[in-house]
Amino acid sequence: MAVSVYKVKRTILILFGVFLAATAAGIITLYQLGTDFLTLEDTVKENPQADAVIVLSGSAERLERGAELYAGGAADTVILTNAAEKGTTPDRAVSLGISKDDILEDTQAQSTYDNALYAKDIMEEQNFSSAIVVTSEFHSRRTKMTFDDIFGSDYTLSYAFTSSSYNPADGLTETEKKTTFSEYTKMIFYSIRLLFD
C-alpha cells in the first residue's frame, strides 16, 4: 500500500515538474524572440470595407484609429468592447465624430478573450460577417490569435494596429519590460486555453 501511494506521489511530482519546465521553456523561448515577435503589420488594405470596426478597450489611441476608419467609410458601425473603460467610452467616440446610432457596446469584457467572445455575439446579433479589429501594436499578435480562433472561418477579419507608448526600439523601459513579459505569458496561457475551446 505504501509503495503505491509513493508511486502516485512520485508520478504527480514528475508530471508537475514537466509542466513547470515546459511552461518556463516556453516563456524563455518567446522572451528570447524579443519584442518584434509581439507586433504584426496591419492587414487593413487601402479603402477597406467591413460591416463593423471593433475597438478593443485599453487605450485612447485605439478609439482614435477606429474613428479614423469610420470617418473614412470603412464601416458604418463601431463596436466598443468594455465600453465603460476610460478612453473608449461611447461619449468619447461621439466626440471623435462617431454617430451615437452607429455605436454598439459591450460592457462585460474583462480580457482580450472576453473582447472576442462578446464582439462575436454582437456580430451574430447584427448578422455581420466582417470586421476590422483595432488594438495596440504590442497587443497585435495575441489579439489576432484570439480573434481568429474564436471567430473562425465564418467571418472575415482584418486588423489595424495603433502606436502607443510601447517603443522598444530605443531600449526597454521597466514598464516596457513588464508589458513584454506580460504579453508573452498571456500568449502562452491563451494558446493553451484556445486549444480546449
* Average pLDDT of span 154-175: 85
| pLDDT (tens digit per residue) in 109-150 | 999 999 999 999 999 999 999 999 999 998 999 999 999 999
* Average pLDDT of span 100-108: 94
* Average pLDDT of span 168-186: 82
pTM of the model: 0.81
Of the ranges 7-11, 122-126, 190-194, which is most confident? 122-126
Could you write out the three-class secondary structure of 69-125?
A: HHHCCCCCCEEECCCCCCCCCHHHHHHCCCCHHHEEECCCCCCHHHHHHHHHHHHHH
Q: Give residue 31's pLDDT.
A: 60
Mean pLDDT, the chain, as a whole number?
88
Domain ranges of the chain: 34-197
C-alpha cell, 152: 473562425
Residue 130: left if φ>0, alpha if ψ -120 to 50, beta else—which one? beta
* Higher-pLDDT residue of 156, 2: 156
DSSP state of 139: G
Helix then strand count (H, E) for the chain reads 6, 5
Q: Give residue 83's pLDDT.
A: 85
Q: Give residue 1's pLDDT.
A: 47
Q: Is 134 within 8 Å of 106 (Cβ atoms)?
A: no
* Higher-pLDDT residue of 37, 62: 62
Question: Is residue 35's pLDDT more than 80?
Answer: no
Q: Name the fold adopted by 34-197.
A: Rossmann fold (3.40.50)
Q: Is 119 exposed, middle or buried (0-12, 13-18, 19+ CB in 10 A)?
A: buried
